[in-house]
A and B are shown apart, each in its own frame.
Chain A
């Protein structure tokens, strides 16, 4: 079955993408990434060293030949900062891909969508493959598409909250109206949340805290792997319609 996620010609083996924050050390990060089966690893350029090869560097643990490194601008509160870190990641030879975050509020970590739209426009013009982290807002998702985003990464719930997919209806509208891959970013707390996102028809799920914050991150990474595969298969298979009354599992019509 050929069911690969492709963004701007780049093929992704896995529909589960993972983050690298909040792990005990780079070794635990490596194990969790491996258990998740993911081939996409997102890294906050500001917080995790992937640039200076002389100091302890995540890329000594996560082989960039085996994994696609997706730099992100977590912790950026202004357009200028987001642009600078994006360019830094590209100039360091990490990737043309950028998971663009422009944070609007320290407490909720909700995106500053005005800044996000501006930064998306600028970076897309500079040839970046921009994956903006945004609200589950269909209008903004469409605007980001028009600004040159390569995929849309709406939140399921606030970053690190583990609240799951709070507004499946908005995600459905985004899936219907935006002609780009939709990757749920943030909010996934456990395996069923990931499955729900995939059953809705989302193209991938990005999880960091949901795995890194679990009691056993390695086991949760594996659980998420299966949930994403299951959710995707269920979406492709097409679920039965929901009905109020029973229909017998073994019909007797035509048997007598």
Chain B
């Protein structure tokens, strides 16, 4: 089922040809991992437009994270996100729903602590998906690596409205400790602003994950470019 606002999005993209290449991975060529939150926008298609701006600015990985959608609605969004990310040669990850990730040929699935365990996800996906895991403590990070995750996010590093549910910020020290004990890529998440990128880099994060840091910015293009410049 295609919603009316998605039809609008489609018509804007009708001139473009479908790219049917096989996704190539694994390669962690993305220093910035953008996570969606449609509630920051007035409508789905408005978020797509914003994401297109961000992709144009050079973001190479997006996680579709819309936890409160029905799986049917999520699949709709995932489908169009796949079109969009493919066009900009960016990776698409789907939060929690491995079925949706496989169905739209996403590059990966990103599992929360209450989602399917990594081993089960691997069983289902085989080599078709990268598996990312959200972690909040050193123990969770170590476990994710043991279980076979391809990469993790760890946070919240700093205070952030979107991560309040995960407790107080863990700080860059925890990030540094995690980095010294795991060998898979580690993305720092939670309250990372431009002026904190340097500190996160010094703690040897492989990249940063952002939601409102970009999606709530006034000038998304300039903000994305500024983050990417600092992450180079």
Q: Which residues of A78-126 are within 8 A (CB) of B?
A: 78, 80-81, 84-85, 87-88, 91-92, 103, 106
A-side interface residues, number (CB < 8 Å): 24
What's the minimum C-beta distance from B74 to chain A, rounded to whole angstroms?
15
The listed residue (B3, B8, B56) touching A80 by CB distance below 8 A is: B56
Given contacts A80-B53, A80-B56, A88-B8, contact A51 B43 (CB under 8 A): yes
- The residue among A45, A84, A103 with the most chain B CB atoms within 10 A of its own CB is A84
Q: Does residue B37 face the partner (Cβ distance < 8 Å to A)?
A: no
What's the minimum C-beta distance from A49 to chain B, rounded to whole angstroms?
4
A51 contacts which chain B residues (CB < 8 A)?
5, 8, 42-43, 45-46
Q: Which residues of A46-87 are within 8 A (CB) of B?
A: 46-55, 75, 77-78, 80-81, 84-85, 87
What's the minimum C-beta distance from A129 to chain B, rounded to whole angstroms?
19
A91 contacts which chain B residues (CB < 8 A)?
8, 11-12
Q: Within the assembled complex, what's the spacing in Å between the Cα atoms of A77 and B49? A: 13
Chain B, interface residues (CB within 8 Å), range: 20 to 34
Given contacts A87-B12, A91-B11, A106-B218, contact A52 B43 (CB under 8 A): yes
B4 contacts which chain A residues (CB < 8 A)?
52-53, 92
- The residue among B42, B218, B220 with the most chain A CB atoms within 10 A of its own CB is B42
B42 contacts which chain A residues (CB < 8 A)?
45-52
What's the minimum C-beta distance from B135 to chain A, rounded to whole angstroms?
33
Q: Which residues of B25-54 are within 8 A (CB) of A?
A: 41-46, 49-50, 52-53
- The residue among B4, B43, B220 with the most chain A CB atoms within 10 A of its own CB is B43
Task: Decide: B41 and A46 in contact? CB cutoff 8 A.
Answer: yes
Task: Decide: B49 and A92 in contact? CB cutoff 8 A.
Answer: no
Can you give 5 A-B contacts (C-beta < 8 A)? A49-B43, A54-B3, A75-B218, A77-B221, A92-B5
Q: Can you name 7 extra interface pairs (CB under 8 A) apart from A51-B43, A75-B218, A84-B49?
A: A45-B42, A48-B42, A51-B8, A51-B42, A78-B53, A88-B8, A88-B46
Contact residues of B with A, CB < 8 Å? 3-5, 8, 11-12, 41-46, 49-50, 52-53, 56, 218-222
Instruction: Please give me the 8 A-B residue pairs with the lowest Cβ-Cβ distance, nearest first.
Output: A52-B43, A49-B42, A51-B43, A77-B219, A91-B8, A84-B49, A52-B5, A106-B218
